Structure 1
Amino acid sequence: MEESKKYITTEELRKHNKRDDVWISINGKVYDVTNWLQKHPGGEELIMNLAGQDVTDAFIAFHPGTAWKYLDGFFTGFHLQDFRVSDVSKDYRRLASEFAKAGMFDKKGHFVFFSFLSIAVMFSMCIYGVIFSKDFWVHLLSGAVLGFAWVQVTFLGHDSGHYQIMSTRRFNKFAQILTGNCLTGISIAWWKWTHNAHHVAVNSLEHDPDLQHLPVFAVSSSFFNTLTSKFYGRKLDFDSLARFFVSYQHLTFYPIMIVARVNLYLQTILLLLNPSRKVPDRALNIIGILIYWTWFPLLVSFLPNWNERILFVLASFTVTAFQHIQFCLNHFAANVYVGNPQANDWFQSQTAGTIDITCSTWMDWVYGGLQFQLEHHLFPRMPRCHLRSISPVVQDLCKKHNLPYRSYGFYQANKKTIGVLRKAALQARDLSIVPQNLLWEAVNTHG
């Protein structure tokens, strides 16, 4: 029976990495997923980033056990001739199997209920403070409460995007549109599009959209060579404007984080109104965004004057800056690379590109579980209530295979992130690294 099998080599598999010819291997069996590409719930980019490779570990990370039965319809009849499983992958798959048998991917505890309850309380407090109080400080506090509610809503939307927080897929989709579009004004379709790509290509300067922030930020001098974003399909020009902003990015980081939501609003609108890009549930997403831009301006209009309205919005945005900063802390100071993600190095790439934040148990709610960033990246379908308990196991596995496990306190993580930004900023000013530009020289002062 073994002799009758048809085989192809890893090199032959790599040739099938075009959008009209997409093959992948899972557990050594080769599948043609070309026709599935546009139907994939996680988006095309997630598959294209790993096209032509064995993607077993990534498949295990993102799919429940029930997904395996659908693979037979894509089987090419070929097996991978030189298929090998590394020791670290064997251990990773063993852990994933043990967690699945223990029901850890299904047991969500009570955090979903308490999260919804806390969000409802915070929104109620904000609305009451704005409408029924005439005190300036109450209005300002209400803005801050709204900001913290948005933070918690975003964590819940993140959870619903990775696994079912509700009893059925239909209710889960409702939760996604509610938490993402209706309550925060940020499209769940946009989040899935970018976030899934980020997970697969974590800290690839060409493939990870979460690192592509030119002209405002550059975490590596590699951006000075004008890289091409494989995600957005355009060049990331390092022009005179980018050089100017990047040269001071360690000083502008926190102020920009305060208004970072504006960029998310803009990205949402650009995606939903782009007729050339396929957007799942586009109509539902647009309706949800319209609901947000109805209730939020209406709420702000109840404030007595424009000064208070601006300060209210600024207070809410300032609180949400904590979350934007947290996401940067998880990756900006980690290892980065240029090129395609390598599926065979799944565990290694996740450890290289992520940083945990050390905190007390009572702070888990504040961080939304994402202080355990490596644990989340390794097991994205795992509910956040289990991430702290599996952390020691992940640490042991990293130690066993001599892989980095980085976990810093909030202050130290900020210090390292600012250090990375400052290093790139000083490099951007160095004419021996970046070609001289007369326009930049005319407006820049060397500090």
Structure 2
Amino acid sequence: MGSKSKDAVYTRREVEALIADGRTIFVLDGYLIKADAWLPYHPGGDKSIKHMVGRDATDEVNALHSTEAKERMKSYRMGRIEGRWTNFVPPIQGGKFRKLFPEESSELDNTVDISEAEESTLESSEEPSPIFEPVEAPPTGSPYQRKGTKLIQSQPSSASISSIDLDDTAVEPKLSHFDARTLEEIELDLSKYPSLAPEVQDDIVQKYRALEKRIREEGLYQCPYYAYYLECCSYVALFALSMIFLRYGWYTTSGIFLGFLWHQLVFTAHDAGHIGITHNFHVDTVIGIIIADFCGGLSIGWWKRSHNVHHIVTNSPEHDPDIEHLPFFAISHRFFKSLRSSYYDRVMAYDGFARFLIPYQHFLYYIILAFGRFNLYRLSFEYLLGGQAPRKGPAWWHRWLELVGQAFFWTWFGYGIVYKAIPTTSGRLAFVLASHIASSPLHVQITLSHFAMSTADLGQGESFPQKMLRTTMDVDCPRWLDFFHGGLQFQAVHHLYPRIPRHNLRRTQNLVIDFCKDVGIPYAIYGFARGNGVVLGRMADIGRQAKIFAECQRVVATSEDLGMH
């Protein structure tokens, strides 16, 4: 394929061939962005970009990036597209792409575009919408093809489904129990949410973007700095109380107040990580490093890398690190298949330990989350010492500042308090456990908004706003409890517009509710107690499925031992 100018029009087939050659290309505001050179330097990590390859990433980019960052992206334009873009499944999600055949290459070099009729004759290596939809004919772009009364999967999808009978609930022998359940979940979502027809999703996107403009005009992106002044006063008070009780030997009480401080500090670190305080990338990053690394021993860089992916592929068992907690938790039956995590680049083995724990996960939920902070220390060090942090580009020095912050934290906390200030082993243990358990409500808040929501994959045809609202719920609470939840109770709003300062999310919520009514998307909101009940019910249901799965495996193994094939 010959070189083209930055204003040249590319066809979908040409873009497919470029991606097949290993190029990192996505669509932004009608332009093709080639991000290969930027991939190693992206402050938010390479995974979030890889999930956008072959897709129109306009809404994701707008949600997660500042105006300055989007301006810099213009220098990576390689051409443009015309008309509505039909998304590919990104390679990181299992999408496969064909290179150009010699005859295609010569034809495409001499033309700017090809007609829809010509493109329809080119068999795509990976169709854009891995969904099942019980309609008279498979939807355009679906990986399912009709064979009699069945839809047969002809293209790979993250759901790994084979077929389903359209006349009855019966399925082919090749279709496992879990594949059938996956299809049931997809069908349920398709019945509850707006159609995936392009015109419907385009209307949702246009109204979502219009709402963003209204939010900006109403000043909801402006940070209320006075609120942070009040919170800083509470931070100082909590730390002072912790030190006072430490001085008088009340080690458990001292630890509890320190845990309360960590719990509150994370809310501000979360804002800084989303560039939601000063809206300056480096300033907010430094604020985040001071809070997360220096004060809390956690890496803000690790959090950004993980959290950006979470915001793009929310609640995807194969791709979202925020729900990948085997062997301790499984919020979908699909984890029983030992899925490969695209984030961790490893198979999440559903091994003997997982088979033992998962049936009881609803009983262990709060106990395990109470010790979640210890795992965050591990992940932080893996990020800072394991080569995941950017070594070049605008964020090259962030890692070094974080390492200084880690040294500072473990000096004042590990050596200064735990080792030097507390004379007994029992006192040290009480202080450490109390401080870490007291901060654990944060982990409950984070999981609460996603663990009970859909994990079904509706394909690349689903719009960004619909996917966010389908996989995220809000927690309802009185205004006077906002300090406890720290804005994390407005997760559905936050996922739509991540850079809105959390103090403005309550006002934004009313606008989002009106938007949902307008476009017909259900808005999930529960009270805190009810939300916990829904999550525990979901985990109990998955636990029961795990027991059934284990029993089936035992029966099959016994039958094979007896020669009963």
Taking structure 1 as the reference length, what is the TM-score of the superposition? 0.90
- Give the number of equivalent residue pairs: 431
Q: Provide, for residues 132-182 of structure 1, a one-character-per-residue CA deviation record: whole Å limited to 9, x for no partner.
A: x14x4xx32221111110011111111101015248554433211110111
1:356-371 pair list within 5 angstroms: 356-371=474-489
Q: Is the 8 A contact 1:112 1:165 kept in 2?
A: no
State the Cα distance separating 1:433 from its structure 2 match.
Answer: 7.8
Whether 1:69 aligns to 2:186 is no
Aligned to 2:438: 319
Q: Is the 8 A contact 1:7 1:81 kept in 2?
A: no
Aligned to 2:100: none
C-alpha distance in structure 2 between counterparts of 1:253 and 1:5, whole Å = 54
Aligned to 2:57: 55
Identify if the C-alpha distance between structure 1 residues 12 and 429 changes in structure 2 by more than 3 Å, giving closer, same or farther: farther
Instruction: Please give the secondary structure, in 1, of the residue aligned with 2:549.
Output: coil
Q: Provide, for residues 363-392 of structure 1, a one-character-per-residue CA deviation record: whole Å limited to 9, x for no partner.
A: 111111110001111110000111000111
Identify if the C-alpha distance between structure 1 residues 14 and 394 changes in structure 2 by more than 3 Å, giving closer, same or farther: farther
Q: Provide, for residues 213-248 of structure 1, a one-character-per-residue CA deviation record: whole Å limited to 9, x for no partner.
A: 011110011011111101111111111111111121
Identify if the C-alpha distance between structure 1 residues 91 and 296 changes in structure 2 by more than 3 Å, giving closer, same or farther: same
What is the one-letter code of the residue matched to 1:226? S
Q: Is the 8 A contact 1:127 1:299 kept in 2?
A: no
Aligned to 1:35: 37
Q: Is the 8 A contact 1:122 1:145 kept in 2?
A: yes
Identify if the C-alpha distance between structure 1 residues 15 and 289 changes in structure 2 by more than 3 Å, giving closer, same or farther: farther
Aligned to 2:411: 294
1:185-224 pair list within 5 angstroms: 185-224=297-336
The structure richer in helix per residue is 1
C-alpha distance in structure 1 between counterparts of 2:555 and 2:340, whole Å = 21
Aligned to 2:522: 404
Q: Is the 8 A contact 2:205 2:465 kept in 1?
A: yes
Q: Provide, for residues 334-363 of structure 1, a one-character-per-residue CA deviation record: whole Å limited to 9, x for no partner.
A: 000359x74861001100110111001111
Q: Among all aligned residue pairs of Structure 1 and Structure 2, give the percentage whose two residues are the same amino acid.
A: 32
Find the partner of 1:182 among 284, 287, 294: 294
What is the one-letter code of the residue matched to 2:58? T
Aligned to 2:506: 388
Identify if the C-alpha distance between structure 1 residues 323 and 52 changes in structure 2 by more than 3 Å, giving closer, same or farther: same
Whether 1:378 aligns to 2:490 is no
Q: Is the 8 A contact 1:57 1:346 kept in 2?
A: yes
C-alpha distance in structure 1 between counterparts of 2:518 and 2:60, whole Å = 21
What is the one-letter code of the residue matched to 1:317? H
Identify if the C-alpha distance between structure 1 residues 76 and 277 changes in structure 2 by more than 3 Å, giving closer, same or farther: same
What is the one-letter code of the residue matched to 1:120? V
State the Cα distance separating 1:66 from its structure 2 match.
Answer: 3.6
Aligned to 2:463: 345
C-alpha distance in structure 2 between counterparts of 1:173 and 1:437, whole Å = 55
Aligned to 1:335: 454
Instruction: Please give the secondary structure, in 1, of the residue aligned with 2:73.
Output: helix
What is the one-letter code of the residue matched to 2:46? E
Identify if the C-alpha distance between structure 1 residues 266 and 72 changes in structure 2 by more than 3 Å, giving closer, same or farther: closer
C-alpha distance in structure 1 between counterparts of 2:535 and 2:75, whole Å = 46
Whether 1:158 aligns to 2:277 is no
What is the one-letter code of the residue matched to 2:345? G
C-alpha distance in structure 2 between counterparts of 1:18 and 1:288, whole Å = 42
Identify if the C-alpha distance between structure 1 residues 168 and 271 changes in structure 2 by more than 3 Å, giving closer, same or farther: closer
C-alpha distance in structure 1 between counterparts of 2:254 and 2:288, whole Å = 25
C-alpha distance in structure 1 between counterparts of 2:286 and 2:8, whole Å = 45
Identify if the C-alpha distance between structure 1 residues 86 and 400 changes in structure 2 by more than 3 Å, giving closer, same or farther: same
Q: Is the 8 A contact 2:211 2:515 kept in 1?
A: no
Identify if the C-alpha distance between structure 1 residues 39 and 386 changes in structure 2 by more than 3 Å, giving closer, same or farther: same
Which is higher, the Rg of structure 1 or of structure 2? Answer: 2
C-alpha distance in structure 1 between counterparts of 2:450 and 2:340, whole Å = 20
Q: Is the 8 A contact 1:205 1:338 kept in 2?
A: no
C-alpha distance in structure 1 between counterparts of 2:232 and 2:278, whole Å = 12
Whether 1:427 aligns to 2:427 is no
What is the one-letter code of the residue matched to 1:79? I
Q: Is the 8 A contact 2:223 2:276 kept in 1?
A: no
Identify if the C-alpha distance between structure 1 residues 361 and 17 changes in structure 2 by more than 3 Å, giving closer, same or farther: farther
Instruction: Please give the secondary structure, in 2, of the residue aligned with 1:403.
Output: coil
What is the one-letter code of the residue matched to 2:208? Y
1:300-311 pair list within 5 angstroms: 300-301=418-419, 302-311=421-430
C-alpha distance in structure 2 between counterparts of 1:437 and 1:94, whole Å = 57
Aligned to 2:163: none
Q: Provide, for residues 393-435 of structure 1, a one-character-per-residue CA deviation record: whole Å limited to 9, x for no partner.
A: 1111112222121111111111111111111111111137863
C-alpha distance in structure 2 between counterparts of 1:10 and 1:432, whole Å = 45
Aligned to 1:172: 284
| Structure 1, gaps ≥5 residues long | 440-447
State the Cα distance separating 1:16 from its structure 2 match.
Answer: 4.9
State which drifts further: 109-118 or 389-398: 109-118
C-alpha distance in structure 2 between counterparts of 1:299 and 1:344, whole Å = 51
Identify if the C-alpha distance between structure 1 residues 421 and 396 changes in structure 2 by more than 3 Å, giving closer, same or farther: same
Identify if the C-alpha distance between structure 1 residues 274 and 65 changes in structure 2 by more than 3 Å, giving closer, same or farther: closer
Find the partner of 2:236 among 115, 120, 129: 120
C-alpha distance in structure 2 between counterparts of 1:419 and 1:364, whole Å = 26
Taking structure 2 as the reference length, what is the TM-score of the superposition? 0.72
What is the one-letter code of the residue matched to 2:221? F
What is the one-letter code of the residue matched to 1:261? R
